[in-house]
Structure 1
Amino acid sequence: MQESLLLFLYLLMQRRASPQWEMAGRGDDLQRTAWLRQYYTQRQKRLMTLLIARRRRSSCYFHPRAWPSFRHPDWWERVVLKDFQPRDWLEKFRMSKETFFYVCNQLRPKLSHQSAHPHPVLPLEKRVAVALWHLATNVEYQTISPLFGVGPTTVQNCVKEVSYAVVLLLKPLYLRLPSEQELENMVRIFSARWGFPHCIGALDSLHVPIHAPMHLGADYCNSQGWHSVLTQATVDGLGQFWDVCAGFPGSMENSALLESSRLWALAREGRLFPTPPKHFMGRTQKYVLLGDASYPLQDWILKPYSEDGTLTPQQLQFNYRLKRAHSVIENSFLRLKARWQYLLKCDSCSLDLLPTVIVACCILHNVCEAHDCPFNDEWLEVIEPAEFPKPCRPVPMSMDDSSAEEVRELMCKYFESYGEG
């Protein structure tokens, strides 16, 4: 046994001494050396990136000398402001360059504050750009961070700061209760575009997907089994929002949210419609909003008849006309989510901030629509209805206002008399 082992060792030494073995060994050593060099180079880059990220401040202040060597702090000034074409502005910020700077000027009273901090403040336009880029693309903070040469926490702070400024300064201009004259204009637009008379808006809800909150998972789990924050919105005949109530748990029913909203309070107090009510079909009648089966029937909220096979031709015609007109808010929600893809899945926003961000997105939607910013239909491709099916639970008939049935009958007579409008 020992002699065999010695013989084996001798033969092995002889083989290693041969020129072929020596060349093969050298090849392995070179390959191993190249692999190790590549590994340690990549490891050093990762460590340097982490070191720089830790040194960045968690605010809108920055250190001009702390950028990674492969990024330039003047990318915003050197590339975006000088080289971006109209299509680039629309794709990355969802608005034209002119509208972008209009928004910046409107937000200046809130965002142009000076600080005694020893480090320079990010320019106002750059902060707005960071926020809009994130709201439009919903990419992670870590992805936007090196692009603009700021830390991930700075991206988060920009989104928060800009959202609050949009709600504070742009909401009075673009998301407010219409005046009596504006209500009359809305009635004319709804009648002309959608063929539904005496109507000032369509009412519906939007569920924004979120991660299950700790200790509150049951409250935010909706009837379809996924977690969401519930928003109630009303749009005019052009698809622009004029009332938004955001931030409610996804388990809440539309009818309960309605009764908790400012819209309900204003209607109950008689401050939502002109006084006295306008005439319609020979009688005084409040303006109406259009809802779906998840809302209670009121003398100012109309919904379709339950299609149980017993409806008259007039009632079927009413359902068709209402559903066609109600589609204006369904289209608005689609455009809202496609333009501001942040609303497709809010993974990086606290429950305290999310209502403000949702309202800010609705306001920015109105800004884009009012300024005729083009809408790219390709943005709709990211929306997958099957991924988050909309919760829509019909309310029991006991919640309907029995006197409101007369209003639906009045509308049926109108459609029967005037036909297809």
Structure 2
Amino acid sequence: MDHSFLLMLSNLLHLQNHLDPTTSLLSDTASSTTATSPTSLLTSTSAAPLLFFTIASVLSYLACSRPSPSPTPSSASPSTSEFSVSAFRALSTERIWAMEAPLRDAQWRSLYGLSYPVFTTVVEKLKPYITQSNLSLPSDYAVAMVLSRLAHGHSAKTLATRYSLDPYLVSKITNMVTRLLSTKLYPEFIKIPVSRRRLHETTQGFEELTSLPNICGAIDGAPVRVRRLPSNLPNPSVYDCRHGFSSVQLQVVADHKKIFWDVCVKAPGGFDDASHFRESLLYNRLTSGDIVWEKVLNVRGHHVRPYVVGDWCYPLLSFLLTPFSWNRTGTPAQNAFDEALMKGRKVVEEAIGLLKGRWKILQELNVDLNHAPQTIVACCVLHNLCQIAREPEPELWKEPEESGPAPRVLENEKSYYYFGESLRQALADDLYQRLSSR
């Protein structure tokens, strides 16, 4: 019973005793006056007890009929209130801009993997498409939920519990947002550097890193682990990569700022880097002459067009130069070239490390295999957004060491191979001469 109600009853009892002292002696009188009948005792008291019990009954009724207090906001489940639409709206409107920028962006990165201004850019670009889908949730809330999943690697079931949604709806929203990122935003944020300004900036940046002229990108592949393969796959072993786990193969080309300008996810993890490269659209465009870089240099009588650098797992071609050896067993000029080339290749290694460090879902994909490629490409688009905005770089995810023999030269590649071989030697001799003259 309510404490204030008990106190009120106590005060009424004292008041009643003060008005009618005979009532307080009622029990003593009953024990000592045996000749007195009960009727005579009752008639000797006043009306005060009746008044007291009447008032007490009324107060008791009022106390019992009082509605129970509604639960305070703090008593609500944190998992429901903290991630509700209203809580998100309260944080992402007036309050977020009232915070100091470093604190605001640090909080947003911890939740969604990127700062608030970059988040709003993503939302503004995706909102028209999300609105067309007639989604029952606000666009920014849906994007935030998907970014949370990509940044922390949460499963659909975990997010469903956190956001009080059905797991199927979480998967559906994830598929929609990643599809939009990988299709609608890909052409805007992942571009081959063909314009004169950007090509000059890229080759100049690589030359400062390596002392080699006209490098326009660094290529590398990485397996993306898949948590679970469908049980009805006809040949699941094709997804087993050389490191012993099920995966799909990612291929990227990065510039000197660790920004991807080409992304390909077309092969299961059992494919090697060379095979995946030959299956890519980039390979087809380069061999067909569809991509034309106008910047041409003359090095020891060789016309050097912009080229990509890769490790020994890739084929040596006129547009893709690889090291002479993997263990520095060449001539001094060749070893100097290999060392310079690997400095350029390190850029793409770090870019992949940043990608998986920032978007932890790529450390172990927990999406349907059919949606794996678009999820990976979506993370690459978001990586570029973060690099362009100069977001703080997270701790690098460490990829397993490269291994495997050099790929064989295909019949249709022999002309590219012979030209690449002479071009590589000319660049090696030129670099060694410049280094020796210093």
Question: Which residue in 2 is equivalent to 1:358?
Answer: 376
Amino acid at match of 2:147: L
How many Å separate the matches in 1 of 2:367 and 2:217?
Answer: 30
Residue of structure 2 aligned with 1:121, choices 136, 152, 166: 136
How many Å separate the matches in 1 of 2:277 and 2:387?
Answer: 26
Question: Which residue in 2 is equivalent to 1:106?
Answer: 125
Question: Which residue in 1 is equivalent to 2:30?
Answer: none
Question: Which residue in 1 is equivalent to 2:87?
Answer: 75
Contact 1:134 1:342 in 2 (8 A): yes
Amino acid at match of 2:388: A
CA RMSD of aligned residues (A): 2.5
Amino acid at match of 1:246: V
Percent sequence identity over matched residues? 24
Question: Which residue in 1 is equivalent to 2:248?
Answer: 229
Question: Which residue in 2 is equivalent to 1:240?
Answer: 259
Question: Which residue in 2 is equivalent to 1:392?
Answer: 403
Contact 2:265 2:377 in 1 (8 A): yes
Residue of structure 2 aligned with 1:404, choices 417, 420, 434: 420
1:86 Cα deviation from its structure 2 partner: 2.0
Alignment deviations for residues 256-285 of structure 1 (CA, whole Å, 9 cap, x no partner): 111111111111111223258444444322
> Secondary structure of 1:201's match?
strand
Aligned residues: 343
Q: Does 1:137 align with 2:152?
A: yes
Q: Does 1:269 align with 2:288?
A: yes
Contact 2:209 2:343 in 1 (8 A): no
Question: Which residue in 2 is equivalent to 1:95?
Answer: 114
Residue of structure 1 aligned with 2:351, choices 332, 344, 349: 332
How many Å separate the matches in 2 of 1:275 and 1:180?
Answer: 9
How many Å separate the matches in 2 of 1:393 and 1:212?
Answer: 25
Question: Which residue in 1 is equivalent to 2:223?
Answer: 207
Q: Does 1:304 align with 2:323?
A: yes
- Higher mean C-alpha displacement, 229-238 vs 367-376: 367-376
Q: Does 1:184 align with 2:182?
A: no
> Secondary structure of 2:291's match?
coil
Contact 2:248 2:269 in 1 (8 A): yes
| Change beyond 3 A, Cα 1:310–1:353 | closer
Amino acid at match of 1:392: S
How many Å separate the matches in 2 of 1:223 and 1:233?
Answer: 19
Alignment deviations for residues 93-113 of structure 1 (CA, whole Å, 9 cap, x no partner): 121111101110011221122
TM-score, normalised to structure 2, is 0.73
- Higher mean C-alpha displacement, 70-79 vs 298-307: 70-79
Residue of structure 2 aligned with 1:373, choices 361, 383, 391: 391
Contact 1:204 1:234 in 2 (8 A): yes
Alignment deviations for residues 17-56 of structure 1 (CA, whole Å, 9 cap, x no partner): xxxxxxxxxxxxxxxxxxxxxxxxxxxxxxxxxxxxxxxx
How many Å separate the matches in 1 of 2:286 and 2:133?
Answer: 43
Question: Which residue in 2 is equivalent to 1:163?
Answer: 178
Contact 1:209 1:228 in 2 (8 A): yes
> Secondary structure of 1:85's match?
helix
How many Å separate the matches in 2 of 1:404 and 1:114?
Answer: 50
Contact 1:194 1:237 in 2 (8 A): no
- Higher mean C-alpha displacement, 270-279 vs 242-251: 270-279
Contact 2:79 2:163 in 1 (8 A): no
- Higher mean C-alpha displacement, 209-218 vs 101-110: 209-218
| Change beyond 3 A, Cα 1:194–1:107 | farther
> Secondary structure of 1:353's match?
helix
1:345 Cα deviation from its structure 2 partner: 0.3
1:306 Cα deviation from its structure 2 partner: 1.9
Amino acid at match of 2:203: V
> Secondary structure of 1:244's match?
strand
How many Å separate the matches in 2 of 1:335 and 1:384?
Answer: 9
**Greater Rg over alpha carbons, structure:** 2
Q: How does 1:146-157 map to 2 (within 5 A)?
A: 146-157=161-172
Alignment deviations for residues 299-339 of structure 1 (CA, whole Å, 9 cap, x no partner): 11111112566421111111111111100000000000000
Amino acid at match of 2:145: V
1:196 Cα deviation from its structure 2 partner: 2.7
Contact 1:221 1:227 in 2 (8 A): yes
How many Å separate the matches in 1 of 2:145 and 2:334?
Answer: 51
Contact 2:337 2:427 in 1 (8 A): yes
TM-score, normalised to structure 1, is 0.75
1:358 Cα deviation from its structure 2 partner: 0.6
1:213 Cα deviation from its structure 2 partner: 4.1
